């Protein structure tokens, strides 16, 4: 009789171990099919599939040198200025020293009717020597000697004994102005214009200490490098490139180093580098040759890596904080700006249930080389309410139950979630479960802190144990910090650390009563547990993998249950592991495989044991039919779609399945365990969605193991049902 009471309490009171195994939910079929739509993959025709819900457009007015197509990266550029190796003066017409076609007489000293400059020409079509005047009556050539031994200034005498002014009288007693007469009305400067741009020094035949004449007939120091000129390239130096130290650009750069190449070929190299950036999604990055900085065979190529200077939410969000959107998109807007990374962040934001649609466009920014990113989001309803009825509760406290789950995903506008659930069995006083949690996002990578509390009150209502008035209650407080380390469209890796306080107590008609070895004399069992978990999800075109590992360490703090060995108490260690694969066999066929186990080297209190049996574990048996310190479970289900609606969503599916599992106690556990520890079942399920938001599931399983303690409930016969409707 005592053993039966102990077994009933295990079914009725401590349901938390099953919560441990189901607290982490792997991707559902709907999530897998939805994620497969947003993972960019190449189709058989080579085209890239994209989600229609995301639109990223680069406007035509985006400032770029020109669009570069990866297929055309080998094309050169034209219409560029020739390369100048050094700063050289602008080319001008040199002053000719040849004998003029017709010699002219020396400049007369007689008083002219009007003062004129000694040498003048008409307004020439092309620039000539700097000695000029306004348009005279007749053009004259510069005055020079015939075949001089050395080049002289444009104006000179035939053979002066001594250097004289460019234009002078025969023998003046005193120096006079370069142009004079016996009685000139006004002195005239030797070289004059109406408004010269710059003052011109007098023409002299003396050799100056330093050349001062702006007109030189000497060749420039280095010739100008033209389009067809070649230079020996010793090295290509990348400037302002994030990939300068990477070998990814070596195939482009190394092929011209050590060769004689032209300027046009160097520009082709810059275009190929631009094409390399473009092909990898860096659509606003442009490379160009720093032509004026080429020296000693070192050719610098500067990369202007594009960047986003501002993220603008237009129109502004209504309920969600704009920084919630902006901070997540900013993860994809680093330097250099990558369209591929931005699209990935937009698609991750699209998968957030807070949004229906996410769009973005790139516009020219205020700063050269910078762009403005304009994001438009359509917010979804942030709250959901689901009511349900099923027979997923242990028969000892009433197998049929009603449930309600409510969640608000944006309580204060920061993406914080508040979730409430309540389950109540249809049998009077059977089971009442209350669960409340609040989750706060901490960073754009979806790092969160969750606070949770749960209350479970149970009473055995199954005959003949109902006359003993057996009942129990448990209280749980938990805080968990979860931080994704990798979060992309294809995979997510996250770590979590938590601390749980759990207290439980059992009663009978006589008051507080312990059941089994471990709880104290008042039926109390208390655990204080540190939890360290790692979960990983990877999606591909054929489905998804999901894995979760959790280490649980019970400590003797804060009044935890303490017993001498080998009795179970609050000091323990367990390892839980779950693995799931969802494989898309075809459009209408999804295969789901699940496996999990728990390893415990020491004896455990009932609240920490591994349980199997029921609709969510091993079908064909009642809920929590077996429990132990250690255990494992395997399930295989094949969902076959029979009917779809006009939108292509599943309406009717059949799901053949196979489940099996086993439990056992640690070697030193003094509590008694059933001999039949392995169970297995084979059956068929039906999933039906007659109208939107209404889901029905029916399962029938044939138990492959006949248990000695089999009951008379519908669960013992392998029948399970669940119906839910969402608002």
The answer to whether 224 touches 83, Cβ cutoff 8 Å, is: yes
Task: Tell me what pLDDT residue 369 has.
Answer: 81
C-alpha distances out from residue 709 to 67, 85, 620, 671, Å: 76, 97, 14, 18
Which residue has better confidence, 367 or 57?
Answer: 367
Helix (H) or strand (E) holding 252: helix 250-253
Q: What is the pLDDT of residues 342-372, one digit of tens each?
A: 999 999 999 999 999 999 999 988 888 889 9
Half-sphere exposure of residue 276, counting CA atoms within 13 Å on the CB side? 19
> Matching CATH topology for 2-40+381-726 and 223-271+281-304?
no
Question: For the chain, what is the largest distance between any 2 Cα atoms, rounded to a whole number of angstroms?
Answer: 152
Q: What is the pLDDT of residues 432-466, one digit of tens each?
A: 999 999 999 999 999 999 999 999 999 999 888 88
Q: What is the pLDDT of residues 9-22, one digit of tens each?
A: 444 444 434 333 33
Helices and strands of the chain, counted as H and E runs:
7, 28
Q: Exposed, middle or buried by CB within 10 Å (0-12, 13-18, 19+), for 610?
A: buried
C-alpha distances out from residue 172 to 106, 182, 452, 670, Å: 17, 10, 115, 139
Q: For the residues 642-653, what does the mean pLDDT come to?
A: 94
Q: What is the CATH number of domain 54-61+306-379?
A: 3.10.20.310
Torsion of CA 254, 256, 257, 258, to 10 degrees: 130
Quote the crossing angle between the two packed helices 322-329 and 339-350, to the nearest 10°.
140
Which residue has better confidence, 245 or 321?
Answer: 321
At residue 326, φ and ψ (nearest 5 deg) are: -65, -40
The answer to whether 580 touches 594, Cβ cutoff 8 Å, is: yes
Task: Tell me what pLDDT residue 217 has.
Answer: 44
At residue 395, φ and ψ (nearest 5 deg) are: -60, -25
Highest mean pLDDT among 138-147, 462-471, 616-625: 616-625
Which residue has better confidence, 58 or 275?
Answer: 275
Q: For the residues 322-344, what does the mean pLDDT come to?
A: 93
Q: How confident is the model at residue 231 (pLDDT cuts 50, 70, 90)?
A: confident
Q: Left if phi > 0, otherwise alpha if psi is -120 to 50, otherwise beta: which for 240?
A: left
Q: How confident is the model at residue 639 (pLDDT cuts 50, 70, 90)?
A: very high
Q: What is the mean pLDDT of the chain?
A: 78
Q: Exposed, middle or buried by CB within 10 Å (0-12, 13-18, 19+), for 400?
A: middle
Closest by CA to 632, choosing from 662, 659, 607, is 662
Three-state secondary structure call for residue 273: helix
Q: Poorest-confidence range of 6-10, 117-121, 268-272, 592-596? A: 117-121
Closest by CA to 639, choosing from 707, 689, 595, 681, is 689
Domain locations in the chain? 2-40+381-726, 54-61+306-379, 223-271+281-304
Highest mean pLDDT among 159-173, 220-234, 235-249: 235-249
Q: In sequence order, which residues have a C-beta less than 8 Å from that of residue 12 and are 6 or more positions away?
A: 394, 396, 397, 431, 458, 459, 460, 470, 471, 472
Q: How confident is the model at residue 28 (pLDDT cuts 50, 70, 90)?
A: low
CA distance 516 to 6: 6
The answer to whether 394 touches 11, Cβ cutoff 8 Å, is: yes
Q: Where are the beta strands (DSSP E) in 283-397?
A: 286-289, 298-304, 307-313, 355-364, 370-379, 383-390
The answer to whether 212 touches 89, Cβ cutoff 8 Å, is: no
Q: Is the peptide bond before 75 cis (omega within 30 degrees of 0)?
A: no
CA distance 319 to 313: 13
CA distance 175 to 29: 109
Q: Poorest-confidence range of 14-28, 219-233, 559-573, 649-663? A: 14-28
Q: For the residues 384-399, what does the mean pLDDT come to?
A: 96
At residue 683, φ and ψ (nearest 5 deg) are: -165, -165
pLDDT at 123 > cutoff 80: no
Please tell me the pTM assigned to this model: 0.70
DSSP state of 361: E
Estimate to the nearest angstrom the gap between the alpha carbon of 456 and the chain centroid. 42
At residue 626, φ and ψ (nearest 5 deg) are: -135, 145
Rounded to the nearest 5 percent, the helix, strand and coil shares of the chain are 10, 35, 50
The answer to whether 418 touches 435, Cβ cutoff 8 Å, is: no
Q: In sequence order, which residues have a C-beta less than 8 Å from that of residue 250 and are 6 or more positions away?
A: none
Estimate to the nearest angstrom the gap between the alpha carbon of 232 and the chain centroid. 42
Closest by CA to 28, choosing from 631, 687, 576, is 687
Q: For the residues 120-135, what does the mean pLDDT come to?
A: 41
CA distance 694 to 256: 67
Closest by CA to 9, choosing from 514, 568, 665, 714, is 514
Q: Poorest-confidence range of 90-94, 435-439, 477-481? A: 90-94
pLDDT at 424 > cutoff 80: yes
What is the DSSP code string of 370-392?
A: EEEEEEEEEEPP-EEEEEEEE--
What CATH fold (topology level) applies to the domain 2-40+381-726? Porin (2.40.160)
Closest by CA to 516, choosing from 664, 628, 610, is 628
* 3-state SS track over 131-179: CCCCCCCCCCCCCCCCCCCCCCCCCCCCCCCCCCCCCCCCCCCCCCCCE
Q: How confident is the model at residue 173 (pLDDT cuts 50, 70, 90)?
A: very low
Closest by CA to 156, choosing from 147, 172, 167, is 167
The answer to whether 35 touches 544, Cβ cutoff 8 Å, is: yes
Task: Tell me what pLDDT residue 248 has.
Answer: 86
pLDDT at 408 > cutoff 80: yes
Q: How confident is the model at residue 292 (pLDDT cuts 50, 70, 90)?
A: confident
CA distance 439 to 694: 27
Task: Tell me what pLDDT residue 78 has.
Answer: 36
Which residue has better confidence, 30 or 303?
Answer: 303
Q: What is the C-alpha R_g of the chain?
A: 46
pLDDT at 58 > cutoff 80: no
CA distance 579 to 544: 11
Q: Where are the beta strands (DSSP E) in 513-571?
A: 524-540, 543-555
CA distance 727 to 716: 33
CATH number for 223-271+281-304: choose from 3.40.225.10, 3.10.20.310, 1.10.10.10, 3.40.50.1100.
3.10.20.310
Task: Tell me what pLDDT residue 197 has.
Answer: 43
pLDDT at 618 > cutoff 70: yes
Q: Is the peptide bond before 464 cis (omega within 30 degrees of 0)?
A: yes
Highest mean pLDDT among 259-263, 309-313, 427-431, 651-655: 651-655
CA distance 249 to 282: 14
Question: Which residues make beta-bridge pairs with 450?
Answer: 439, 480
Q: How confident is the model at residue 112 (pLDDT cuts 50, 70, 90)?
A: very low
Q: For the residues 423-430, what does the mean pLDDT come to?
A: 89
């Amino acid at each position: 009789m005592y053993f039966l009471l102990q077994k009933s309490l295990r079914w009725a009171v401590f349901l938390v171990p099953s919560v441990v195994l189901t607290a982490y939910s792997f991707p559902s079929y709907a999530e897998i099919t939805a994620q497969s739509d947003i993972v960019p993959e190449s189709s058989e025709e080579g085209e890239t599939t994209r989600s229609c819900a995301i639109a990223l457009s680069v406007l035509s007015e985006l400032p770029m040198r020109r669009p570069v197509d990866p297929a055309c990266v080998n094309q050169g550029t034209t219409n560029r200025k020739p390369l100048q190796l050094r700063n050289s003066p602008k080319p001008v017409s040199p002053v000719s020293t040849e004998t003029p076609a017709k010699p002219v007489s020396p400049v007369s000293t007689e008083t002219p009717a009007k003062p004129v400059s000694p040498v003048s020409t008409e307004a020439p079509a092309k620039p000539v020597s700097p000695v000029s005047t306004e348009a005279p009556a007749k053009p004259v050539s510069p005055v020079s000697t015939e075949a001089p031994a050395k080049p002289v200034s444009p104006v000179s005498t035939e053979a002066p004994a001594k250097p004289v002014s460019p234009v002078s009288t025969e023998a003046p007693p005193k120096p006079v102005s370069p142009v004079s007469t016996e009685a000139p009305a006004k002195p005239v400067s030797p070289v004059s214009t109406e408004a010269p741009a710059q003052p011109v020094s007098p023409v002299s035949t003396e050799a100056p200490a330093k050349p001062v004449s702006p007109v030189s007939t000497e060749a420039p120091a280095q010739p100008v490098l033209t389009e067809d000129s070649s230079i020996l390239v010793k090295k290509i130096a990348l400037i302002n490139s994030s990939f300068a130290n990477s070998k990814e650009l070596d195939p482009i750069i190394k092929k011209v180093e050590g060769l004689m190449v032209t300027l046009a070929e160097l520009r082709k190299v810059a275009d190929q580098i631009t094409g390399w950036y473009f092909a990898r999604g860096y659509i606003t990055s442009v490379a160009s040759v720093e032509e004026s900085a080429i020296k000693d065979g070192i050719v610098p190529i500067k990369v202007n890596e594009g960047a986003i200077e501002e993220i603008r939410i237009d129109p502004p969000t209504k309920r969600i904080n704009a920084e919630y959107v902006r901070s997540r998109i900013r993860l994809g807007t680093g330097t250099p700006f990558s369209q591929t990374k931005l699209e990935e962040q937009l698609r991750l934001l699209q998968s957030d249930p807070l949004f229906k649609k996410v769009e973005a466009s790139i516009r020219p920014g205020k700063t050269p080389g910078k762009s403005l990113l304009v994001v438009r989001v359509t917010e979804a309803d942030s709250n959901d309410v689901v009511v349900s009825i099923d027979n997923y509760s242990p028969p000892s406290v009433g197998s049929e139950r009603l449930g309600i789950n409510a969640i608000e995903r944006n309580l204060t506008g920061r993406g914080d979630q508040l979730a409430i659930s309540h389950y109540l069995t249809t049998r009077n006083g059977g089971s009442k479960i209350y669960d409340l949690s609040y989750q706060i996002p901490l960073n754009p990578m979806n790092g969160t802190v969750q606070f949770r509390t749960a209350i479970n009150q149970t009473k055995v209502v199954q005959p003949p144990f109902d006359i003993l008035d057996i009942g129990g209650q448990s209280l749980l407080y938990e805080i968990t910090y979860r931080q994704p380390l990798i979060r992309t469209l294809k995979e997510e890796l996250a770590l979590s650390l938590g601390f749980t306080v759990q207290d439980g107590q059992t009663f009978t008609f006589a008051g507080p009563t312990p059941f089994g070895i471990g709880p104290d004399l008042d039926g109390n069992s208390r655990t204080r547990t540190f939890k360290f978990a790692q979960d990983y999800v990877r999606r591909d075109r054929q489905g998804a993998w999901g894995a979760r590992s959790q280490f649980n360490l019970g400590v003797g703090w804060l009044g935890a249950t303490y017993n001498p060995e080998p009795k179970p108490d609050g000091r323990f260690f367990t390892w839980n592991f779950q693995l799931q694969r969802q494989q898309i066999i075809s459009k209408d066929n999804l295969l789901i495989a699940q496996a999990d186990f728990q390893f415990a080297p020491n004896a455990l209190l009932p609240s920490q044991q591994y349980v199997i049996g029921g609709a969510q574990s091993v079908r064909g048996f009642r809920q929590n039919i077996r429990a132990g310190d250690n255990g494992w479970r395997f399930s295989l289900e094949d969902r076959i779609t029979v009917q779809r609606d006009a939108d292509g969503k599943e309406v009717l599916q059949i799901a053949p399945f196979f489940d099996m599992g086993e439990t056992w106690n640690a070697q030193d556990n003094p509590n008694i365990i059933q001999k039949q520890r392995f169970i297995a079942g084979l059956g068929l399920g039906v999933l039906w969605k007659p109208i939107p938001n209404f889901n029905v599931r029916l399962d029938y399983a044939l138990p492959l193991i006949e248990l000695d303690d089999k009951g008379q409930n519908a669960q013992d016969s392998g029948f399970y049902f669940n119906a839910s409707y969402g608002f």
